[in-house]
């Protein structure tokens, strides 16, 4: 646990009592703070001394800050009642990330943001640093809540995956190195539109220390930050990560596709800021294991492979997957985001057929009409079975059955992880001999 000792004797409120909120409560109690806590839905057991109370019952005139969980809106589309009360009483609204930064102002910290690719990049950076014997701790928008991390010490590095929500509530963010991988439309309702979303991502550029390194993806919105006043006056290095500079990844099957060329280059540049050479990175890459639900090969059947890219919840992410394979039997659909299929509509050359599921199926079918053969399948199980049947029949020399939905999961699943795990189970059933025999009776 990382304890924000500077909050000893202070009074704080914690809004939201899921993983990050509960970690904040525990750390503040350990620091000797007086803590009020509230969640609109959950009522977990709280440490002794923590006061469970609705925001209207909080001692607003005594609060040093309100720690808000990232899923709770503090500005758009409408502020939570507690956030509105905080503004009325001039109480800062901060995240657990900000508590970490205040608790460890001298720590070496890497911050990574972007619409897509954050989790892969931070995991890859951790893999590279670990392979060189550096102590690391990884958290934020991935894995362990930051205040529950083990402190890697003064010679170690804290690696943070940062969402746009967190970047709006972390005024004390200070980074030795950081990256904005890409910026494409997503979560616009939570930021009051495109300009607010870009501004949230740009907060990471502001946070890189003088003498630090800012690495930017080469899409227009991200790379434009290199020319902005956000970074130009303070940074020693502001580098655009070009795809064609990336290391040879042929020995690392978990880094498939051009987007992972960019991810690898970003991680390599960040590692270089900490003295790790490209040769050392190349040596460690073959041992890298990719993340579940992100371009994850989950099974093969002869020349057919099944790829779980359930994390592709928007058209930009799905477009990257569609660039990465030949002879694709594409499963797409769910709860569509603004823009529908977006850039994926321009990456259909390798798609043999699209199998459409969920609430967006008919809208996606309309978008694909005249551009790509498609079927309305309804469920993931029906889509996988149809794709496998077609791939066996029409692509005997090799095919990829790709779940890359270009949509959120909440119409039929509880999360993208649930959707990916369900796909894995469906594929296992499809490839079970007894199941195959039953289908042909």
DSSP states of 360-415 as a string? THHHHHHHHTTTS-EEEEESHHHHHHHHHHHHHHH-TT-EEEEE--SSBSTTTSSS
Within a domain: 388: yes
Same domain, 132 and 157: yes
- Asked whether residue 354 is domain-assigned, the answer is yes
How far is CA 89 from each of CA 16, 60, 64, 84, rounded to the nearest angstrom? Answer: 19, 7, 11, 9
Pairing of strands 296-301, 304-308: antiparallel
How many domains is the chain built from?
Answer: 3
Q: 3-class DSSP state for residue 226?
A: helix
Distance between CA 313 and CA 187 in Å, rounded? 11
Domain limits at 386?
296-430
Q: Are residues 109 and 159 in the same domain?
A: yes
Please enumerate in sequence order all residues whose Cβ is within 8 A of that of 149, keeping only pairs 6 or more positions apart, or say none.
1, 2, 137, 138, 139, 158
Could you tell me which of 30, 189, 198, 15 has the C-alpha nearest to residue 91? 15
pLDDT digits (tens, 9 = 90+) for 304-328: 999 999 999 999 899 989 998 999 9
Question: Do residues 122 and 41 share a domain?
Answer: no
0.75 cut: is pTM over it?
yes
Q: Which DSSP state fits 335?
A: B
CATH of the domain at 12: 3.40.50.720
| Residues of the chain where predicted confidence (pLDDT) is lower than 50 | 229, 231-233, 250, 435-441
SS3 state of residue 427 = helix
Together in a domain, 208 and 317: no
Name the region of 420 (left: φ>0; alpha: ψ -120 to 50; beta: rest): alpha
Residue 36 lies in a domain: yes
Q: Are residues 130 and 38 in the same domain?
A: no
Residue 339 lies in a domain: yes
Q: Is 279 contained in some domain?
A: yes
**Per the domain annotation, does 151 fall within a domain?**
yes
Residues 210 and 330 in one domain: no
pLDDT number for residue 237: 67
Alpha-carbon gap, residue 41 to 43, rounded angstroms: 7
Please indicate, yes or no, whether residues 120 and 243 belong to a single structural domain of this protein: yes
pLDDT tens for 237-293 read 677 776 655 555 545 666 777 778 888 999 999 999 999 999 999 888 888 877 789
Q: Is 277 inside a domain boundary?
A: yes
List, in sequence order, every residue forming a beta bridge with 299; answer none if it has no partner: 306
Residues 79 and 112 occupy one common structural domain: no
Dihedral, 326, 331, 335, 338 alpha carbons, nearest 10: 20
Beta-carbon contacts of residue 54 (< 8 Å; ≥ 6 apart): 38
Q: Are residues 277 and 304 in the same domain?
A: no
User: Residues for the chain: how many in total?
Assistant: 441
Domain match, 170 and 138 both: yes
Residues 261, 310 share a domain: no
- Please work out, in degrees rounded to the nearest 5, the angle formed at the alpha carbon of residue 402 by the alpha carbons of 400 and 408: 175
pLDDT at residue 344, as a whole number: 96
Per-residue model confidence (pLDDT) at position 180: 94
Residue 427 tokens read as: 């594929």
Instruction: Please tell me whether residues 136 and 65 are part of one structural domain.
Output: no
**For the domain that residue 204 is a member of, what is the CATH number?**
3.40.1190.10
Q: What is the pLDDT of residue 253?
A: 66
DSSP string, 101-144: HHH-TTS-EEEEE-SS-HHHHHHHHHHHHHHTT--EEEEESSSB
Looking at residue 275, the DSSP 8-state letter turns out to be T
């Amino acid at each position: 646990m990382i304890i924000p000792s500077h909050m000893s004797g202070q009074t704080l409120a914690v809004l939201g009592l899921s993983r990050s909120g509960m970690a904040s409560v525990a750390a503040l109690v350990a620091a000797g703070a007086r803590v009020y806590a509230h969640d609109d839905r959950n009522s977990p057991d709280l440490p002794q001394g923590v006061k469970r109370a609705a925001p209207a019952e909080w001692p607003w005139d005594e609060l040093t800050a309100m720690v808000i969980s990232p899923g709770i809106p503090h500005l758009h589309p409408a502020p939570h009642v507690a956030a509105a009360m905080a503004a009325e009483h001039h109480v800062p609204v901060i995240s657990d990330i900000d508590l970490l930064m205040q608790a460890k102002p001298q720590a070496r910290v890497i911050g990574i943001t972007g619409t897509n690719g954050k989790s892969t990049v931070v995991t890859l950076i951790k893999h590279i640093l670990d392979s060189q014997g550096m102590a690391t701790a990884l958290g934020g928008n991935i894995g362990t809540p930051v205040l529950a991390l083990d402190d890697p010490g003064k010679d170690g590095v804290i690696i943070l995956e940062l969402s746009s929500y967190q970047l709006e509530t972390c005024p004390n963010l200070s980074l030795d190195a950081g990256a904005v991988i890409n910026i494409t439309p997503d979560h616009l309702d939570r930021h009051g539109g495109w300009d607010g979303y870009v501004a949230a991502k740009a907060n990471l550029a502001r946070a890189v220390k003088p003498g630090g390194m800012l690495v930017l993806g080469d899409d227009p919105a991200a790379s434009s930050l290199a020319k902005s006043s956000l970074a130009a006056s303070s940074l020693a290095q502001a580098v655009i990560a070009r795809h064609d500079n990336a290391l040879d990844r042929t020995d690392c099957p978990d880094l498939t596709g051009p987007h992972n060329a960019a991810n690898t280059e970003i991680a390599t540049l960040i590692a270089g800021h900490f003295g790790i050479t490209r040769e050392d990175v190349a040596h460690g890459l073959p041992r890298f294991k990719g993340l579940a639900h992100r371009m994850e090969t989950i099974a093969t059947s002869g020349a057919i492979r099944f790829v779980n890219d359930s994390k592709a919840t928007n058209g930009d992410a799905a477009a990257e997957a569609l660039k990465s394979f030949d002879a694709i039997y594409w499963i797409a659909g769910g709860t569509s985001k603004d823009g529908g299929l977006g850039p994926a509509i321009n990456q259909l050359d390798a798609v043999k057929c699209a199998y459409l599921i969920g609430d967006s199926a008919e809208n996606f079918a309309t978008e694909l009409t005249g551009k790509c053969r498609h079927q309305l399948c309804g469920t993931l199980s029906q889509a996988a079975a149809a794709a496998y049947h077609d791939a066996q029949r029409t692509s005997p020399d090799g095919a990829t059955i790709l779940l890359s939905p270009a949509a959120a999961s909440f119409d039929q699943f509880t999360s993208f992880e649930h959707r990916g795990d369900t796909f894995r189970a469906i594929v296992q059933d499809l490839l079970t001999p007894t199941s195959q025999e039953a289908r042909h009776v």
